Amino acid sequence: MTALPSLHKRLIRRPRHDPDLFFPPPFSSAERRYGIGGDGLAAVGARYGGDARRGGKPALRLAEPYKSGWRSTKARVCLAPVAVAEQQKFFSKYNLDVEFVNFGNSTDVLLEAIATGKADAGVGMALRWLKALEQGFDVKLTAGTHGGCLNLLTAKNSPFGGLESLKGQTIGVTDMAGPDKNFFAILLKRHGIDPLSDVQWKVYPADLLSVALDKREIAAISGSEPFSYRLLETGKYQLIASNMSGDYANLSCCVLGVSGSLARDHKPAAAALTQAILEAHSYASAHPESVAQAFMAHALNTNETEVSGSFTARATATTPSARRSSKS
């Protein structure tokens, strides 16, 4: 498991300073979740001047319209800002004509489509993309879009108040290759717990995770939004750790990837697309209710309250011991 932290650092941590790379100013906890998340990875088009104006127009606006294919499943809550980007005219602002194509939930299909040029870009979880990118997919990461998707929960009356208390316990997940499982494996390792030998991971259907926790079959469950928000709102569960604290408080968990050919041969288009997506996420941080309302046209198994609530950061765990434990 020693390889996991190094893989994480290689792709997720803030790059070394380079004057050609764009890092936005510090942002609030809400912006951290659905704001300009450029702390994660360098924006390809930054050298073109960000959103500086030229003659009253954005500096990155393309001289000619560019038709772009976007691979996405717009039903995912974390993609709500992308789903409403066209409605809010962030694409047309940069002379982009974006066509959305639903690829389902397969990461491999998404990345293959981007790598082969069948689509120009897509957004996904960095810790879901790692292995595929290591295999040589021709996809360039141009920006971190947001953070705060990953949470580790336990029952309200649970004796497990922090990561260290999970040694020897079982953690419920929905996918052994999921980004939440990968992230908390990294976090456990950083807290001296071997995620291979000191804990067990058990797969459950999403709707049975809380049932297993209530029956004390498992000590904790990991998940993303709006699943975590829904459980925490019941008052029956509490947060042990998330990717909203410690070293991870200013890092992105979701990233924007563009095709290698677009980054090499059409840098202005890659820059414009990246900037439009970052602005859409910044808009979501400032207008969570309106984004949630607009997103209902694409949403599945959720509602406006859960979507807008998922945009609100829970930066720390709910108990003092958990707060100490979740810090890196």
Q: What pLDDT is stored for residue 192 in this prediction? A: 96
Kindly write down the DSSP assignment for every residue of 279-302, as one continuous string: HHHHHHHH-HHHHHHHHTTT--S-
Residue 191 has pLDDT above 50, yes or no: yes
CATH of domain 20-148+251-286: 3.40.190.10
Neighbour-count burial of 64, counting CB atoms closer than 10 A to its CB (0-12 exposed, 13-18 middle, 19+ buried):
exposed
As a whole number of angstroms, the distance between CA 225 and CA 227 comes to: 5
- CATH 3.40.190.10 boundaries in the chain: 20-148+251-286, 151-242
What are the tens digits of pLDDT across the range 46-103? 333 345 455 557 889 999 989 887 765 555 677 788 878 888 899 999 999 988 877 6
Residues 6+ away with beta carbon under 8 Å from 25: none
* Cβ atoms 259, 114 nearer than 8 A: yes
What band does 20 get if pLDDT is binned at 50, 70 and 90? very low
Which helix (DSSP H) or strand (DSSP E) does residue 112 occupy? helix 107-115
Fold observed for domain 151-242: D-Maltodextrin-Binding Protein; domain 2 (3.40.190)
